[in-house]
Structure 1
Amino acid sequence: MRVTLERANLLKSLNHVHRVVERRNTIPILSNVLLNAEGASLELKATDLDLEITEATPAQIEQAGATTVPAHLLYDIVRKLPDGSEVMLSVDPEGSTMTVASGRSHFKLQCLPQSDFPQLAAGEFSHTFRLDSATMRRLIERTQFAISTEETRYYLNGIFIHSAESDGKIVLRAVATDGHRLARCETEAPDGAENMPGIIIPRKTVGELQKLVDNPDVAVIVELSDSKIRMTIGAVVLTSKLIDGTFPDYQRVIPQGNDKAMQVERKTFTDAVDRVSTVSSERGRAVKLALSEGLLTLSVNNPDSGSATEELAVSYDAEPMEIGFNARYLLDIANQLSGSDVKFLLADAGSPTLIEDTNDALALYVLMPMRV
């Protein structure tokens, strides 16, 4: 194999694929990136056996071929080469080493044979649809923060995406929850998504996808099978296993009868929560919201370090009430909102609270209260 290509093109592709590779691997081949030179492009592929990313980049190919080299090492070398330089990759006749040459810099890397590299066979895809990148990014960003990190509840370790009926229309809905908070976001279902099965996309795949949907002009082609999802974003193909589990019936958690409405300026509210939570304990992070007509009093009381209170003018005309929340969860939700105001729909101190984005009627958040 002998290939010449622009450093910028190689670096961009390596940046996309090398992140999938775990730093510590018991299986040596999983530390490597597969390089396949064919036609007029170099294809790069990396996998952790659950997730696979492939990207092709333009290259001058003097001699076609394929090999695998350490992914993070190659990425670090190319990253440190000067801007605007060309890189030549060549494999010796035995196939045991690859030379990376650019200007006066020469590196020799150990290769492992292409035949050892695992393929994430996708099987038959039963559903295909297209989403624009901005919509995919919105579905992810509005829900990702609520993904559970508790490994025992593995079925919550991802975003649940499914088609549902809302106001007589079919929508594509993304939901994530960790049992303390729930985030739901939806968009009009694209052609092909109407009867799709409910799928749970793993947290790591969600993170990689979020980094890839940065160009609003590129559409995402989504293909689904019973156990895998494949997403094509321009020259990048991301294939991932899905979480094999049943997502809970989240509709039961969304309160319907919350009749006490509070509306407050979002930035003023988040800054105030951030300030008073400075004295909260790392473990508890509890902040109390005391509501009376037109007034919200935020307070934190930590026996070890002190207390804090702050008053805010709000729109509220129901009976006075007090309710406690985890300050970090409140801030996580508030940071997802795009409107200038945030609207809380409350029932009582022990019931879940509904939080709405005044600028996005298709996003919805539920937060469980804390005892304070």
Structure 2
Amino acid sequence: MKLTIERAVLLTALSHVQSVVERRNTIPILSNVLLEAEGEKLALTATDLDIAVVEKLAAKVSKPGATTVAAHTFYDIVRKLPDGSEVELTYSASDQRLELRAGRSSFKLSCLPKEDFPVMAPGELPNSFPLPADQLRRLVDKTRFAISTEETRYYLNGIYLHAAASAGVPMLRAVATDGHRLARVETPLPTGASGMPGVIVPRKTVNELQKLLDGSGAEVRIELSDTKIRFTFGDLVLVSKLIDGSFPEYERVIPRENDKVMEVDSKAFSAAVDRVATISTEKSRAVKLTLKPEGLELSATSPDQGSATEQLTIAYSAAPIEVGYNSRYLLDIAGQIEGENARFLLADALAPTIVRDPADDGVLYVLMPMRV
């Protein structure tokens, strides 16, 4: 195999694929990236057996071939090469080494046979539909913070993607919850998605997808079955296994009778919660909200540190109420509000609270209160 490729093109693709590779691997081949040169393309593939990322790049291929090389080492070398340099890659089957040349730099890297590299076959993917990248980015960005990290409840370790109806309108809905908070975001159902099964996309796949979406402005093709999902962005493909489990009936925890409505400036609210929570030393960093028609008081107390209070102007006309929250959860949700105000719908001090973004009807958050 022999080819030349621009350093910037190679570096971008390596940054996409190498993050899938685990730093510690008991199977040596899984530490490697597969390089396949053919025609005028170089294809890079990385996998951890649950996720595979494949990206094809334009390259000047003078001799086709394939090999595998340590992903993180290869990425670090290319990252440290001078800007604008041309990278020449030559693989010799006789000594099983990949020679990398760029300017005055030269490296010889140990390789493992391409035949040992596992192929992750997606199998039949009967459901297929396009989705604009910005819509998929919104579904992912606004829900992933609520994904559970508790491994015993593995079915909560991802985003539940499914078709649903909202006021009779078909929607593609993404839901994540860790039992303390819930994020539900929806967008109009794309053509071809009506028959899709409800699937749980794993946390690691969600994180990789978010990185790939950051650099994408085009349309994404989504194909899925009950067990696998594939996202295609032009020359970049992400294939992943899905979580084999049943997502809970989340609609049951979304309250319908919350009649106390508070509107508050979202940025001022976030800043105030952050300041007041500084005094709170326990793990939950609890903050108490006292709502009255004349205003909102945020407070926190600590036996060791003392106490803190802050007043905010709000729009609120219901009976006074006191309710406590984990400040980190409050900040996570407030950070997703893109409109000027956040709207809180409450019932009492123990009932789940709904948080809405008046600027985006497709977004809903549920937050469990705590005793303070």
Instruction: Report the TM-score, using the length of structure 1 for normalisation.
Output: 0.99
What's the % identity of the aligned pairs?
60
Q: Is 2:112 the counterpart of 1:108?
A: no
Deviations 1:104-145 (A, max 9, x none): 111010000000000111110110000000000000011010
Q: Which amino acid aligns with 1:260?
A: K
Deviations 1:299-351 (A, max 9, x none): 00111211100111111111111000000000000000100000000000010
Q: Which amino acid aligns with 2:371?
A: R
Q: Tell me the equivalent position of 2:39.
A: 39
Q: How do 1:153-168 residues align onto structure 2 when only pairs under 5 Å count?
A: 153-168=153-168
Q: Tell me the equivalent position of 1:357.
A: 357
Q: Tell me the equivalent position of 2:64.
A: 64
**Contact persistence 1:55–1:236 (CA under 8 A):** yes
Name the CA shift for 1:176/1:95 in 2 (closer, same or farther; >3 Å): farther
Q: Is 2:211 the counterpart of 1:211?
A: yes
Q: How do 1:113-192 residues align onto structure 2 when only pairs under 5 Å count?
A: 113-192=113-192
Instruction: Mark the runs of 5 or more structure 2 residues left unpaired by the alignment.
Output: none
Distance 1:5 1:131 in 2: 31
Q: Could you say what secondary structure the match of 2:112 adopts?
A: coil
Q: Which amino acid aligns with 2:51?
A: L
Q: Which moved further from structure 2: 24-33 or 287-296?
A: 287-296
**Contact persistence 1:85–1:103 (CA under 8 A):** yes
Q: Tell me the equivalent position of 2:7.
A: 7
Q: Tell me the equivalent position of 1:303.
A: 303
Deviations 1:68-125 (A, max 9, x none): 0000000000000001100011111315111011111110100000000001111101
Q: Which amino acid aligns with 1:88?
A: E
Q: Which moved further from structure 2: 75-84 or 275-284?
A: 275-284
**Contact persistence 2:216–2:233 (CA under 8 A):** no
**Contact persistence 2:132–2:218 (CA under 8 A):** yes
Distance 1:340 1:129 in 2: 34
Q: Which amino acid aligns with 2:293?
A: E
Q: Which amino acid aligns with 1:140?
A: V
**Contact persistence 2:352–2:366 (CA under 8 A):** yes
Q: Tell me the equivalent position of 2:262.
A: 262
Instruction: Mark the runs of 5 or more structure 1 residues left unpaired by the alignment.
Output: none
Q: Which amino acid aligns with 1:371?
A: R
Q: Which amino acid aligns with 1:331?
A: L
Distance 1:155 1:226 in 2: 14
Q: What displacement does 1:294 show? A: 2.7
Name the CA shift for 1:156/1:129 in 2 (closer, same or farther; >3 Å): same
Distance 2:54 2:284 in 1: 43
Distance 1:177 1:284 in 2: 17
Q: Which runs of 4+ in 1 moved over 2 A?
A: 214-217
Aligned length: 372
Q: Is 2:249 the counterpart of 1:249?
A: yes
Q: Tell me the equivalent position of 1:23.
A: 23
Q: Which amino acid aligns with 2:197?
A: P
Q: What displacement does 1:235 show? A: 1.3
Q: Tell me the equivalent position of 2:345.
A: 345
Q: Which amino acid aligns with 2:354?
A: L
Distance 1:93 1:315 in 2: 72
Q: What displacement does 1:215 show? A: 4.6
Distance 2:91 2:161 in 1: 44
Q: Which moved further from structure 2: 93-102 or 146-155?
A: 93-102
Q: Which moved further from structure 2: 299-308 or 211-220?
A: 211-220
**Contact persistence 2:91–2:99 (CA under 8 A):** yes
Q: Is 2:69 the counterpart of 1:77?
A: no
Distance 1:284 1:77 in 2: 42
Q: Which amino acid aligns with 2:88?
A: M
Name the CA shift for 1:145/1:31 in 2 (closer, same or farther; >3 Å): same
Q: Which amino acid aligns with 2:25?
A: N
